[in-house]
Structure 1
Amino acid sequence: MSGASSPAGGQPAGHIQETLRDGIATLTISNPARRNAMTLAMWRQLAASLARLREAPDLRVLALTGAGSQAFVSGADISEFDQARDSAEAAAVYNQAVAEAQDALARFPAPTVALIQGACMGGGIGLALACDLRYASASARFRMPAARLGLGYGYADMRRVVAVTGMAAAFELFYTARTLDAEQAQAGGLLHERFALDDFEQISQARLQRIAANAPLSLRAAKAAILASTREPSAAELEAIAALVRQCFDSADYAEGRRAFAERRDPVFTGL
């Protein structure tokens, strides 16, 4: 898959664009008229895109970003709430679509990176936290406005926030609903790195290329083990991780890595 693809039936105002080039898949959240707010259809499309990309044999790293520089994701599209989220029953259907998209991102087998510019609010923070790494430009702004809207977040959402920021920062983020700049977000654990606006594109792409140049099987094994370490894994999950590790040692990439080390050159990995 290369270039941008649009959903069947044309490109609606809000949609997810997909590219896959040189091992780097990029999902771009595009709804610029609403600062990339997520519609119900977009949540469902995001889950479908992630399901397709899981099977892409040449994918090495996945980047999630927003269209333009004004917003990563400004949250859910509130204009839909009078219909799609106007009761507990309707909210349950909506929230299930959100959970499926965020869980698909959190469980994606390859490394995932959120590239954040501009507004990152509500569901945008949820998407960013579902990624393994988060890089932002100095223009990024973060806010969890649930308490100003009367929304509730459940256990799964809060668990992800607390796992990244810690309990104290999570309380502050939700209780105050205040806006954090990129420096404050990094200090609070939301970000791994922040870059000057003019340097963001170049440096973030260099970070993606660095990840993509590493052995894909090693990265997938590492991710599976790291994620399992955050909970009590089942015997089946531990065996699956052990199988990934065995696959690394049986791979052509392991032989290539040893040769490259002996020859004092950069390895060229194939994912095999």
Structure 2
Amino acid sequence: MSHSFADGALLLSIADDVALLTLNRPDKRNALTQAMWRALPRAIETVANDPAAKVLAVTGAGGAFAAGADIGEFETVYATRDSAAAYAAEIAEAMEALADLSKPTIAAISGPCVGGGLGLALCCDIRMASEKAKLGITPGKLGLMYSLGDTRRLVEAVGPSTAKDILYTGRILSAQEALSLRLIDAVCSPEDLDGAVAAKAQAIASASQWSARRTKAVVRRILDGQTQDDDTTRAWFLDSLEGEDFLEGRDAFLQKRTPTFPYR
């Protein structure tokens, strides 16, 4: 199944349990327009509501992930304080839609992944990159600042001092340096990236989706500062013991077969 958003600048396909969202402006290195930011929540909602999609992978067309927000629109979107606030709210809504998706997400990063592009990648659970990828966040070179939500996700990934270094300098990182800083989780050769992402997506899709989604929710609570179980997390644990995925997983283990988890 295929969907198109923002006049084809966002393409969504769903097959074999995996949704693939492609940023599709290769002639502009997939720089994100206001129309794309506005359409992203609808694309994410489509993934959330489709039981055929267990995992979402986000990628870019033409050998780039995304070179950031489209600077060609800055004169218009930042024309007034009100227009700037509205534009920032649209970007924040798009970022939060991806970050808050209950299903597991993977960023497949080729070429430039800068500014808002890296912001989107940081909204994904796992980031896998080509060894030719270039990553950075450059508001310091434009006299801008990164939003609190985007900055928080960067700090969660690399820690406060490294986040400050990246933001203060606006420098561009190689894939290997990004890996050493834990900004990304894996580096592949350019020709192997798509296959590695597909294999990771299938490995996640073949496991229990009930477990994956509750795990994602628990990790979010930990990052938000929760340190002890509460009534909700205790209920989730007990629910798991009564769930159909646990019954299938237990039986498959005892019968020495591969489980087929029913939850979607």
The interval holding the TM-score normalised by the smaller chain is over 0.9
Distance in structure 2 (CA, Å) of the matches to 1:147 and 1:55: 38
Q: Which residue of 2 aligns with 1:113?
A: 106
- The two structures, once aligned, show a CA RMSD in angstroms of 2.0
Q: Which residue of 2 aligns with 1:140?
A: 133
Quote the offset at 1:240 in angstroms: 4.5
The answer to whether the Cα contact below 8 Å between 1:215 and 1:253 also exists between their aligned partners in 2 is: yes
Matched, 1:183 2:181: no
**Stretches of structure 2 lacking an aligned partner (at least 5 in a row):** none
The answer to whether the Cα contact below 8 Å between 1:135 and 1:193 also exists between their aligned partners in 2 is: yes
Q: Which residue of 2 aligns with 1:60?
A: 54
What does 1:139-158 align with in structure 2 at a 5 Å threshold?
A: 139-158=132-151
Relative to structure 1, is the Cα distance of residues 188 and 232 closer, same or farther in structure 2, using a 3 angstrom cutoff?
closer
Distance in structure 2 (CA, Å) of the matches to 1:30 and 1:163: 28
Q: How many residues align?
A: 264
Aligned AA for 1:16?
Answer: L
Find the partner of 1:18 among 7, 12, 18.
12
Report runs of 4+ in structure 1 exceeding 6 Å deviation. Answer: none
| More displaced 10-residue stretch of structure 1: 14-23 or 135-144 | 14-23
For 1:68, what is the secondary structure of its paired residue?
Answer: coil
Provide the TM-score with structure 2 as the length reference: 0.94
Quote the offset at 1:246 in angstroms: 3.9
Distance in structure 2 (CA, Å) of the matches to 1:121 and 1:244: 37
1:142-164 residue CA offsets vs partner (Å, 9 max, x unmatched):
12121122222232221111111
What does 1:17-166 align with in structure 2 at a 5 Å threshold?
A: 17-69=11-63, 71-166=64-159
Relative to structure 1, is the Cα distance of residues 51 and 200 closer, same or farther in structure 2, using a 3 angstrom cutoff?
same
Distance in structure 2 (CA, Å) of the matches to 1:232 and 1:136: 29
Distance in structure 2 (CA, Å) of the matches to 1:62 and 1:247: 25
For 2:4, what is the secondary structure of its paired residue?
Answer: coil
1:195-241 residue CA offsets vs partner (Å, 9 max, x unmatched):
111211111111110000001101111111111011245x9x95444
The answer to whether the Cα contact below 8 Å between 2:106 and 2:197 also exists between their aligned partners in 1 is: no
Quote the offset at 1:90 in angstroms: 1.5
